Amino acid sequence: MSILVNEGTKVCVQGITGRDGSFHAQQMKEYGTTVIGGTRPGKGGEIHEGFPVFDTVAEAKSAGANTSVIYVPVAGAVDAMYESIEAEMDLIVCITEGIPANDMVRVVDSLRGRPSKLVGPNCPGVITPGVAKVGIIPGSIATPGPVGVVSRSGTLTYEVVHALTSLGIGQSTCVGIGGDQVPGMNFIDTLTLFREDSATELVVIIGEIGGADEQIAADYVANELGKPAVAFVAGQTAPPGKRMGHAGAIISGGEGTAAEKIAAFQQAGIPVGKTPAEVAELAKAKLSG
């Protein structure tokens, strides 16, 4: 089993005629993901590098798509999310970065009571190794196995997945939820899916400074997950008072520091690695012990 993406995932690439959409549509197809085609308003009926182009997401859904991935530039990305929500796509992955938090508050509110799940924005996407990927996570670094990965950081997702694979530890599904202040799916949403997934035996949580999501996740692992977990917190060497990286990596009033998050994980019985390689070693020890 897996979460979010599987053999039945059929993708519509919003912005398929752009540079990024075109490149990653091909990458996803080569990995084995079923890519139905993509959208570019006004170009419906055309073929772009072997992929059918639709005017709307609804048309792509009628052609079989159940998942959308958004590579639309920031000026149109919010409307692209709304379009996929209205089309009731099962999964929406928004790669686009730079979307204002106020806009995302309204997008997230529009998801209430709808069947769609939204990953992102400003995220690398989702991969179920050996089966399907939606987004930009390199397929070459992942391998099938029992470890679920959920991460606020894009690059660190790659580093931890590569470290796990290098130790012979495969992954069930890897989910990059993004580091923005107002995401679609959060840690708890993703951990809940991993809790129900029989193929996931252990979860790796990759957090970063800013906010309190890691503390909330630590409490969930201690009281609800029912599976072991290990963690990594980015930003342990961040200068005090400095804004770092993602929009969500903002420390305010002394809250949201790496030390706070590490303490919360440790109090919940979750070991925290100092490096991606150490995270992989901790995961190996948990699985074998």
CATH number at residue 178: 3.40.50.261
Omega cis (within 30) before 121: yes
Strands 67-70 and 10-14: parallel
Asked if 106 and 192 sit in the same domain, the reply is no
**Backbone dihedral angles phi then psi of residue 223, each to the nearest 5 degrees:** -115, -20
Q: What is the mean pLDDT of residues 119-145?
A: 98
Which segment of 90-104, 246-260, 264-278 scores lowest on mean pLDDT? 246-260
- Same domain? 282 vs 156: yes
Q: Is 41 helix (H, G, I), strand (E, B) or coil?
A: coil
Total domain count for the chain?
A: 2
- Of residues 2 and 127, more confidently modeled: 127
12 located within any domain: yes
Burial of 254 (0-12, 13-18, 19+ CB in 10 A): exposed
**Cα–Cα distance measured from residue 27 to residue 30, given in angstroms and rounded to the nearest whole number:** 5
Name the helix (H) or strand (E) containing 99: none
The H helix count followed by the E strand count for the chain is: 9, 14
Could you list the residue range(s) of the whole structural domain that residue 5 is in?
1-122
- Do 215 and 268 lie in one domain? The reply is yes
Note the pLDDT of residue 241. Answer: 54
Q: Has residue 12 got a pLDDT over 70?
A: yes
Q: Which residues pair with 92 in a beta bridge?
A: 68, 118
* Whether residue 146 is found in the same domain as residue 225: yes
- What residues form DSSP beta bridges with 70? 14, 94
Active-site residues, by number, are: 246
Residue 238: its pLDDT value, please? 54
Q: What is the mean predicted confidence (pLDDT) over 123-143?
A: 98
Residue 132: inside a domain: no
Query: How confident is the model at residue 277, as a pLDDT?
Result: 97
| Residue 251 predicted with pLDDT over 50 | no
SS3 content of the chain, % helix, strand, coil (to 5): 35, 25, 40
* Domain-terminating residue out of 122, 150, 184: 122
DSSP lists the bridge partners of residue 34 as 10
CB 202 within 8 Å of CB 148: yes
Residue 209: predicted pLDDT: 87
**Mean pLDDT, all residues of the chain:** 93
What whole-number distance in Å separates Cα of residue 167 and Cα of residue 266?
Answer: 24
Q: Which regions of 197-275 does DSSP assign to beta strands (E)?
A: 202-208, 229-234, 272-273
Q: Rg for the chain (alpha carbons), in Å?
A: 18
Encode pLDDT of 159-191 as tens digits. 999 999 999 999 999 999 999 999 999 999 999
Band of pLDDT at residue 239, cut at 50, 70 and 90: low
Instruction: Mark whether 115 and 207 lie in a shared domain.
Output: no
Q: How many CB atoms lie within 10 A of CB 226?
A: 8
* Secondary structure of residue 118 in the 3-state scheme: strand
Residue 148 lies in a domain: yes
Min mean pLDDT across 50-64, 74-88, 197-211, 244-258 is at 244-258
Q: How confident is the model at residue 210 (pLDDT cuts 50, 70, 90)?
A: confident
SS3 labels along 163-198: HHHHCCCCEEEEEECCCCCCCCCCHHHHHHHHHHCC
Question: What mean pLDDT do residues 42-68 have?
Answer: 98
pLDDT band at 1 (very low <50, low <70, confident <90, very high): confident
Which pLDDT does position 246 carry in this prediction?
A: 52
pLDDT at 117 over 70: yes
